[in-house]
Chain A
């Protein structure tokens, strides 16, 4: 047993010795590096080292959580936590944490991500964007890497070690003041990672977006780029969390077994080895697995931890967070069209490449709006005819799911800031009759 795992186990034993029913401790030794850039130059390079143990404790259906940093003040903190759990209030719906022993897959983390010369990658991405859009291009973004050693011990049996790595380059390039494109490259490993690829995409879109015209209100068939699809998948995937369902922050309340999308949609949560959020166990120590959320249009499951699973009379899906379940990495199954076919078959529509600021009027009904940014294009007779600006998608999340009419063969692993988070494996998606509005 490693020293860190032993220290983590000691925390659990301490909690049990005090009288707790269940104790789960997860220690993360995280090394995070980020380079931020704008105006084609590096603004700052940041490193943060985090040594933290998240501890969850239950006693007589009372549930409390805390954090211990760098194994400091363990006795004092655990005593305080035990006092707190005893002073807390019973949750009759609490169903406990996972019990038993689990076999975990081997971690495939890439230690090399920690010591990259990020500035070099950044400059390569900027150069690639410039090649597409010219020397006057102005680019900004981030390069990020994560390397985490994770140690988990549960009083109920699970125990394991994991190493998690991720690397991301996100670049937004402006060819003119209101003409921009955004590209991302996301991976769990530096192998095969390309800084030029997102730069090229951002530059190409920025070039196409030049001289934008005011958009026109109306309903359009819209082709969503993988990046903006990633934002939609994050929105829809997040709503499958049993917690969000229980507090009605979801369009999927009471819809298990029902048709919630068009037939061509199959959506999964897959903590795959390629994903930035790769892992071998969840926060209770349950082995993670693939879960089919929507199968050919029908909602199959919510995402659960052990406790929410009991409420819904099912099994945990291996999506426990501390304390709430959520998706790790959402995949939309590939379709049978190519991006080019999708474009060619569109008589009059839009091609949108990114969005931000998604806000709901009502999560239960799904009414919301979001503001496309970066390249947005009018398509006529299968060709990009015009670059647009200043439009908004003002529609309904369920209606859009049901209007998905095409999914591309090509897919990309995307993540961006808080907007396309959690990450996803995203195709190009064609959605019919999307309502577009603009300011007056």
Chain B
């Protein structure tokens, strides 16, 4: 990263008749490996390093990026972005919500520096995990393990005087395994993510969690019974609560979707101006509060300032069952006459920053886990999910249980084979009558935009109890 070139690009942009310009430089050291059935397939190292300019002029936006750090290239991309903005041919002019300039320097806490961890140690860690997965009495014929890290350094400056430097190291592990029992295969994947250092491994307990997954799948094949379709009480584990929070609360609350900017790709939202759902409308029961919070320390989606230089904070999306606050960047905030709440993220220097979630989860309630289970006479505990999806207005969704159990008189009984909840956002959140005290997070990669930008995110929650939902 050459900050002088970034400064030069901004100075050059200031010479244009632009309403606003920003430069975002991003250097990312990447390292990763793929291990297939205990054999190291490939090891990858790279440094991705470049900068972009975004210009607002005459109500249009232009964006250009490069990984060539020269003044000529800086001029070229500024000229290009300016020209794009000026020739957008918009009738309705774009503006950005007003914000104060910021000078800041922040970084994620990293106890054991990832850069100090040798490739041998990384390979050995995954090899050990693979060995353990293959040596505990469960037939796991296919094991694909990935480990990767990114050391992400950003430098942001704009024509309003902001200057923000940041550093976030991230570590992730992804495991995809196939268990075969009596000739029948079951598959699962697990993702682990952390902003911080190598100490992530102490938090994850990879071996314990992955081995448990193989045992769960083996038990599903051997013992699981189909559920009799019908309405029943359902207890969702933190993983299921988390994916529901992400898909049917976080996504529909993204203001760019609400305003139609993603209409052709990720879609729109069941929430829209003049529609039946808006700020202040009830979408869930009184006990449902879903938040998105980038500031959770060491979370996979952690950041202190977003990619427009706005201070991050917790956003209460659904509050006590009411649609409360959308996720905004400066463009959507201006359009809806509010302020940005720091939701603008880009995965790389060559991508436009757009409205994104960070860590989306159901806030804890008052129940102990025992109390919440005791309250179910007959029903289903869906601890985790396999297949899932949701429509592009974020209303019609489906979760298929991976680890699930039948509940009788508050006690877990036999495993249930792939139970399915296929319902709507309104039905799901309205059916919640109890939420437990302890939140657990799960790492994921949230996809959106064109070209696709997969951003690191957490999703999670406590145990969430739903009354009388249809299961098949």
Contact = CB atoms under 8 A, between A and B. Distances in A.
A360 B188 CA distance: 10
A57 to B, nearest CB: 10
A142 B265 CA distance: 9
**Size category, A interface:** 35 or more
Contacts of A34: 450-451
A67 B186 CA distance: 36
Given A50-B67, A89-B127, A361-B386, A371 B263 contact: no
Chain B CB count within 10 A is highest, among A85, A88, A438, A440, for: A440
A323 interface: yes
A249 B80 contact: no
Interface stretch (A96-104, A169-177, A287-295, A404-412): A169-177
Chain B CB count within 10 A is highest, among A69, A171, A418, for: A69
A248 B36 contact: no
A49 B389 contact: no
A64 B50 contact: no
Interface string B181-196: 0000111000000000
A370 B89 CA distance: 37
A64 B387 contact: no
B187 A64 contact: no
B423 A439 contact: yes
A127 B90 CA distance: 15
Interface stretch (A36-44, A274-282, A336-344): A36-44
A49 B44 contact: no
B117 interface: no
A360 B387 contact: yes
Interface stretch (A230-238, A258-266, A351-359): A351-359
B209 interface: no
A92 B80 CA distance: 50
A141 interface: yes
Interface in A31-90: 34, 36, 38-39, 41-52, 62-67, 69-70, 72-73, 77, 80-81, 84-85, 87-90
A194 interface: no
Contact of B187 (A42, A52, A70, A363): A363
Contacts of A248: 141-142, 178, 185, 187
Interface stretch (B9-17, B305-313, B366-374, B394-402): B394-402
A249 B143 CA distance: 11
B267 interface: yes
Interface in B256-271: 259-265, 267
Interface in A357-390: 357-365, 367-371, 373, 390
Contacts of B67: 49-52, 69-70
A403 interface: no
A138 interface: yes
B8 interface: no
Contacts of A140: 260-264
16 contacts: A36-B261, A42-B89, A44-B60, A45-B84, A45-B85, A67-B48, A89-B40, A171-B264, A247-B36, A249-B176, A357-B392, A363-B187, A373-B392, A417-B450, A438-B396, A438-B422
A437 B77 CA distance: 49
Interface residues of B, number: 85
B465 to A, nearest CB: 19
A50 B350 contact: yes
Contacts of A93: 39
Interface of B: 36, 39-50, 52, 60-69, 73, 77, 80-81, 84-85, 87-92, 94, 118-120, 123, 127, 141-142, 144, 176, 178, 185-187, 259-265, 267, 272, 275, 350, 352, 386-393, 395-398, 400, 418, 422-424, 427, 447, 450-452, 470
A177 B393 CA distance: 10
A178 B40 CA distance: 48
Contacts of B186: 362
Nearest to B470: A440
A123 B123 CA distance: 52
A119 interface: yes
Top 5 A-B pairs, shortest CB-CB distance:
A45-B84, A357-B389, A140-B263, A67-B46, A172-B264
Given A65-B43, A69-B50, A138-B260, 13 more contacts: A44-B352, A49-B73, A50-B66, A66-B46, A69-B48, A85-B43, A170-B264, A248-B187, A356-B267, A360-B187, A369-B398, A392-B389, A418-B452
